[in-house]
Amino acid sequence: MKTIQFREAIQQAMSEEMRKDDTIYLMGEEVAEYNGAYKASKGMLDEFGPDRVIDTPISELGFTGIGIGSAMNGNRPIIEFMTFNFALVGIDQIINNAAKMRQMSGGQFNIPIVFRGPTGSAGQLGATHSQAFESWFANCPGLKVVVPSNPYDAKGLLKAAIRDDDPVIFMESEQMYGDKGEVPEEDYIVPIGVADIKREGTDVTIVSFGKIIKEAYKAADELEKDGISCEIIDLRTVRPLDYDAIYKSVKKTNRLVILEEAWPFGNVATEITYQVQENAFDYLDAPIIKINTADTPAPYSPVLLKNWIPNSEDVVKAVRKVLYK
């Protein structure tokens, strides 16, 4: 195992797969000459050249469509968005072409393409640069949606996504690129659609994913001081979603808190809440609590932003509530 940064895990996953398959290429804004907006493609232009590491203009609709078209013709593109906020410019191509082409062509066309880049808030970037669209993309049949929270999972999941024959939305975070973690030096993948129990516990299940899961870890450490044992599940993938892992944990702990960096209406936590009450209701000893951002655009003010985004204190309060403490 070697300790590397999240951005290095992303770079390694792409480079290792590109060395094995010359149909794979990376395209997006600043991915080549600048080594990536967040240095996640550092050195790749030098190794693979401008035909496989391609800088684009600020034209998400255009290069998203080019990527999908090339995937239909035998390539395996990796399309980087500087942020998924900008993916909205190309969302017509993603939803109406990438997600539907296999079905509409009667299986004649696979779309082996990865759309990757950061999601959610990264601090004081304003309302239009701080949005989490995981549930938007997960709502669309034909897309897989992956949101890793650490370098190990990021590398293994990205390699799985690149090898997948269907379109994959791979969502990262500007605030995780510098995070460090141990990653094997040998080849490995993390299968898409399999959640991971990051911390075993007996009193309450906390489900989360992406960078916001760090707040769950902080809360669990705080609650442990009072003898409260939290089981933390990292979804890693929100489409397909590993319901069985959640049901199994809830049957053990009998309580569920869901932490998600998203607006409260119609999100991933909402779907989990419904499925658990439908399939594990008899095991619940308290109502499910979901923790989301405030139901407003993200504020720029640091004071307001701190109150807008969920934190460990919110998790502690929710856990105490489901435990009636």
pTM for the model: 0.96
Q: Residues with Cβ < 8 Å from 39, sequence gap 6 or more?
A: 7, 177
Structure tokens belonging to residue 71? 């995937």
Q: Rounded CA gap, 179 and 3, in Å? A: 10
Is the distance from CB of 268 to CB of 135 less than 8 angstroms? yes
Cross-strand bridge partners of residue 119: none
The single residue listed with the structure tokens 């095991």 is 283
Active site residue 260: no
How far apart are the C-alpha atoms of 143 and 80, rounded to whole Å? 16
Question: From CA 218, how far away is CA 175, in angstroms rounded?
Answer: 17
Q: What is the pLDDT along the chain (325 residues), one digit of tens a residue?
A: 999 999 999 999 999 999 999 999 999 999 999 999 999 999 999 999 999 999 999 999 999 999 999 999 999 999 999 999 999 999 999 999 999 999 999 999 999 999 999 999 999 999 999 999 999 999 999 999 999 999 999 999 999 999 999 999 999 999 999 999 999 999 999 999 999 999 999 999 999 999 999 999 999 999 999 999 999 999 999 999 999 999 999 999 999 999 999 999 999 999 999 999 999 999 999 999 999 999 999 999 999 999 999 999 999 999 999 999 9
Residues 243-282: pLDDT tens digits? Answer: 999 999 999 999 999 999 999 999 999 999 999 999 999 9
Distance between CA atoms of residues 323 and 325, nearest Å: 5
Q: What is the DSSP string of 136-170?
A: HHHTSTT-EEE---SHHHHHHHHHHHHH-SS-EEE
Catalytic residue among 8, 17, 29, 60: 60
Catalytic residue among 8, 17, 80, 129: 129
Q: Is 47 one of the annotated active-site residues of the chain?
A: no
177 within 8 A of 7, measured Cβ to Cβ = yes
- pLDDT tens-place string over residues 46-71: 999 999 999 999 999 999 999 999 99
Listed in sequence order, the residues at least 6 apart from 221 whose beta carbon sits closer than 8 Å to its beta carbon are none
Kindly provide the residue ranges of all beta strands, DSSP E only, lying in 86-225, ordered along the sequence: 114-118, 144-146, 168-172, 180-183, 196-199, 204-208
- In angstroms, the CA 25 to CA 79 distance is 8
